[in-house]
Amino acid sequence: MPDRIAEVWGERTPYAREAAWPRRRDLHLGDGIGESAVDRWVQSACVLCSNGCACDIAVKDGRMVGVRGRETDLVNHGRMGPKGLYGSWQWNGEDRLTRPLIRRDGELVESDWETAMDVVVRRSKELLAESGPLSHGFYTSGQLFLEEYYTLGVIGKAGLGTPHMDGNTRLCTATSAAAMKESFGSDGQPGTYADIDHCDALFLFGHNMAETQTVLWARVLDRLAGAEPPVVVAVDPRTTKVAEAAKNSGGVHLAPLPGTNQALMNGLIRELIVNKWVDEDYVSAHTLGFSELETTVEPYTPRHVAEVCGIDAGALVRAAEIFGTSGRVLSTVLQGFYQSHQATAASCQVNNLHLLRGMIGKRGGGVLQMNGQPTAQNTRECGADGDLPGFRNWQNSEHVRQLAELWNVEETTIPHWAPPTHAMQIWRYAEQGSIRFLWISATNPAVSMPELPRIREILGKEELFVVVQDGFRTETAEFADVVLPAAFWGEKQGTFTNANRTVHLSEKAVDPPGEARADLDIFLDYARRMDFRDRDGDPLIGWETPEAAFQAWQECSRGRLCDYTGLSYEKLRGDSGIQWPCDGDRPDGTERLYQDGVFATRTDECEDYGHDLLTGGTVSAQEHQALRPDGRAFLKAVEYTPPPEESGEQYPFVCTTGRTVYHFHTRTKTGRSRHLRRAAPEPWVELAAADAADLGVTDGDLVRVESVRGGVEVPVRIGRVRRGVVFLPFHYGYWDTDGEGRPRAANELTMTEWDPVSKQPLFKISAVRVTRVEG
């Protein structure tokens, strides 16, 4: 196999439209280990991007020593990306947490589980007695397993009764869920990865697939290398590999100024309407809101959009023509759209494009509002992000009653008097002092949250009791009162669901180091010690194993869009993962949603009644009912508004943050792989060549990038970002710098502002200045 650091996407296996994507098995083993030396292979799926590639873990002498892709799986056909190959199994290093830590005299010291959990439970009970359940907040991840999220959701909603629960999924893909709720009535991807095999055109909106989902991009590259390749359109302020492919395919690269996506989308929609590239029969039968949409987009002529976005008007017209005239169009959306001030609005316009053309639930014609983490879908499904489990509506009393009956608790126990508390508000409540107990699991907000000086100040508040559950002593763990050592992937059992709605089972391959425990076991221990009971006096949580937790979740999902009742651990031990919904009527899963044009928008069914996309104001049940959606999708319309922070004389650049192909999140795992660390050892700032020349800097020069909130000092990389924009990778924190040296975390610069609907922070639009660091 070629060096997959240098050749990120591997060898090409071209295939034609409508053909099957060829299989190719990717494999990497530790130094000096051949396949014949492997003791056993253990079924799993990779957790280092949202693609969810099925794989097998190589085990020798009780250690993980490598990984191989599973050729029979529908997601990856045997391929794996560089993070999966080199970073997924190499974190059993000497710096793993192996025993609990508690804070004594200002220092974290080793302890035992009995003592640590006693400290946690004692403080939890004290605060419940003093201030009630609103004193408690939980901030989790997109990297745990389904069984762990569901257990955490039941603890929070039925045990404690707190609405203060969310995940770091709020930072990366909350807009994915929000946009689907607004348009289709519920979370859940309408399309499927297999639509790449059948599409005539592929649109990527703010989605640098080549670096964020390398295996999916390999699938695109193989289509482009085969007969009847699709035309690609890329929307990105940087000239990425995706943008290059767009140009080479005869498509278009649109590079709008950050913060102008909504104007761009209104312009594209106007072109479809003006040129009559609209399936009028489909729109009439299956949607609501066309007249308002038509009126809203009318002012967004190509010339006007070009002026607002800083793009060529002809390129906009050409992109619209490709969308309007191609037989089958697949669109993907990710953080370039999600992390801006009109995130939900712009993402809904992608849905609108497909609804206007009747391309939802069609073979090769659909939309994928992508996720940024491997198990983000489960955070949302299971209620660990604050939403009610099973895509239920917190405003729907019948949905609340269903959960109360399932969990055997009073309806009043389940928080539903107000919207669930989103992450940005959880941190604000902690700042203000109403949340005094904050449990952080499998995430590192001291690097990943916006405006890091503020986050460090909050975490350091004496009155805030912080529990951190992780496998490493992260930047966040340094602020904790108690640190609980957690098992990682390969060290525990559970299931998770990718952006393709594909459920995989990950088996336990090896024991966790020292006294580290599975996250499920930690949550169950807390629940037992807190003595949570149902209304009959029995233990609230009746399961003790991952499989039993999965079975409990199946009952919660019964009859909902995300129905898991046709799945089982045994069934998931087959050749491939399976796409939900999977039930008695659909025992083999479901490839595409909404094939019949009937959406989850009925008032008694929908997950949300909707919002004003400009203000975030909520639609009431009565207002929703009056619209008589009756299974029709919503064409949501809104005008463009400028971002809250724009470049100017003092701060002449717009800074956008994002991923590099070799790392994941804050590098707590990938930064410990020597292959990945060597490939991308330190952060950088990408500048346009013309901007670098104006500043008198070149590759490798050290510069200070500074916003009104803070700054970083990083070397320059002359890149292909558009002029007036700079790019910073967000992965780099301080755990491997010994606490000394230059500031380098991108979120030293970013702002505490969020989209009015999805509540996702605005990582893409910080005004900055760049100056050379002398000496």
pLDDT 10s digits, 199-213: 999 999 999 999 999
Domain residue ranges in the chain: 1-89, 101-172+375-491+513-557, 175-370+600-631, 653-772
Per-residue confidence (pLDDT) for residue 738, from 0 to 100? 74
Per-residue confidence (pLDDT) for residue 719, from 0 to 100? 87
Which tokens is 579 given? 């796409």
CA atoms of 493 and 84, how far apart (whole Å): 18
Per-residue confidence (pLDDT) for residue 437, from 0 to 100? 98
Beta strand 482-485 pairing with 494-497:
unpaired
Q: Tell me the pLDDT band of 1, cut-offs 50, 70 and 90.
A: confident
List, for residues 115-132, the tens digit of each pLDDT value. Answer: 999 999 999 999 999 999
CA angle at 603 for the pair 597 and 604, rounded to the nearest 5°: 105
DSSP states along 658-695 = E--TT--TTSTTGGG-HHHHHHS-S--EEEEHHHHHHH
Per-residue confidence (pLDDT) for residue 386, from 0 to 100? 85
Q: Tell me the pLDDT band of 92, cut-offs 50, 70 and 90.
A: low
List, for residues 280-311, the tens digit of each pLDDT value. Answer: 999 999 999 999 999 999 999 999 999 999 99
Please check the confidence at residue 363 and state whether its pLDDT lies above 90.
Answer: yes
The domain 653-772 is classified under which CATH number: 2.70.98.60, 1.20.950.20, 2.40.40.20, 3.30.450.80? 2.40.40.20
Per-residue confidence (pLDDT) for residue 49, from 0 to 100? 92
Per-residue confidence (pLDDT) for residue 93, from 0 to 100? 67
Mean pLDDT of 136-144: 96
Per-residue confidence (pLDDT) for residue 741, from 0 to 100? 80
Q: Tell me the pLDDT band of 478, cut-offs 50, 70 and 90.
A: very high
Q: Write the CATH number of the domain with boundaries 101-172+375-491+513-557.
A: 3.40.50.740
List, for residues 713-766, the tens digit of each pLDDT value. Answer: 999 999 899 999 999 999 999 999 976 689 999 999 999 999 999 999 999 999
Q: How many CB atoms lie within 10 A of CB 510?
A: 21
Q: Would you say 82 and 122 are in contact if contact means Cβ atoms under 8 Å apart?
A: no
Written as one letter, the residue type at 478 is E
List, for residues 217-235, the tens digit of each pLDDT value. Answer: 999 999 999 999 999 999 9
Q: Write the CATH number of the domain with boundaries 175-370+600-631.
A: 3.40.228.10
Please check the confidence at residue 6 and state whether its pLDDT lies above 90.
Answer: yes
Q: Would you say 590 and 582 are in contact if contact means Cβ atoms under 8 Å apart?
A: yes
Q: Write the CATH number of the domain with boundaries 1-89.
A: 2.20.25.90
Mean pLDDT of 95-104: 96
Share of the chain above pLDDT 70, in %: 99
Which tokens is 395 given? 């405003």
Per-residue confidence (pLDDT) for residue 88, from 0 to 100? 76
Which tokens is 161 given? 């009764």
Q: Tell me the pLDDT band of 91, cut-offs 50, 70 and 90.
A: low
Mean pLDDT of 606-630: 97
Per-residue confidence (pLDDT) for residue 94, from 0 to 100? 75
Asked whether the whole model's pTM tops 0.75, one would answer yes
What is the 3-class SS of 387-399, one letter each residue? CECCCECCCCHHH
